Structures are given as structure tokens and as C-alpha cells.
Amino acid sequence: DIVLTQSPGTLSLSPGERATLSCRANQSVSSTYLAWFQQKPGQAPRLLIYDASIRATGIPDRFGGSGSGTDFTLTISRLEPEDFAVYYCHQYGSSPTFGQGTRLEIK
């Protein structure tokens, strides 16, 4: 199975700052089958990015995804108050897996 390791575990930033979240795989993710989800307390996850860099419908352009192979990044260019949440990377090849999550909290 592909193991996804997200870093940092917790990221403390202020609104308006730039957030950079990392997701590293222990083997290459096929065809950039890599997605990012946002989850707020008590809610189901929401798809932000798929195919490593394509924003899902309705996702603001301050969210950006990049990477290939084993290293992927989610960037939030200017944090809004509603962006503070937990973020998960997810590879959706055969035998899908999730990263353990990065908590983005208000500093």
C-alpha cells in the first residue's frame, strides 16, 4: 500500500498569510491520482483538488495543488477565516489511502 505522510501535523498561521502543506508518498502515485480534502468539525470532507493540481468545482483560486511522483503540496495563498480546518491528502489509485491530516489553526 502507498503510505502518505503529511507535514506539518499542525500549522499555526494568521488570516492573510500563506499556507503550505506537504504530502509525501513512500512510492510513486500513479498518474498523479492525488487529491486534497478539507474537513471542518462535524462535517464531511470536501474535495478541494484532484489530479494533484485541478481545483474542484466551486473551490476558490487561493487554493492550489502541485507535485508529482512522491511529493505533493497544497498551497493556500491568502488564508481566510473559513480556511482553518483539517486537510487530508488522498491517493485514489488501486488500494486508496489517506494521509494522517494537517490541522491548520489560527495563530
The residue among 14 and 57 lying less far from another protein, judged by its C-beta, is: 57
Binding-site member from 51, 71, 82, 105 for another protein (CB under 8 A): 51
Report whether 49 contacts 36 (CB < 8 A): yes
The residue among 79 and 102 lying less far from another protein, judged by its C-beta, is: 102
Smallest gap from residue 32 Cβ to another protein (A): 11
- Amino acid letter at 44? A
DSSP string, 4-56: EEEE-SEEEE-TTS-EEEEEEESSPPGGG-EEEEEE-TTS--EEEEETTTEEP
Smallest gap from residue 88 Cβ to another protein (A): 6
The residue among 50 and 72 lying less far from another protein, judged by its C-beta, is: 50
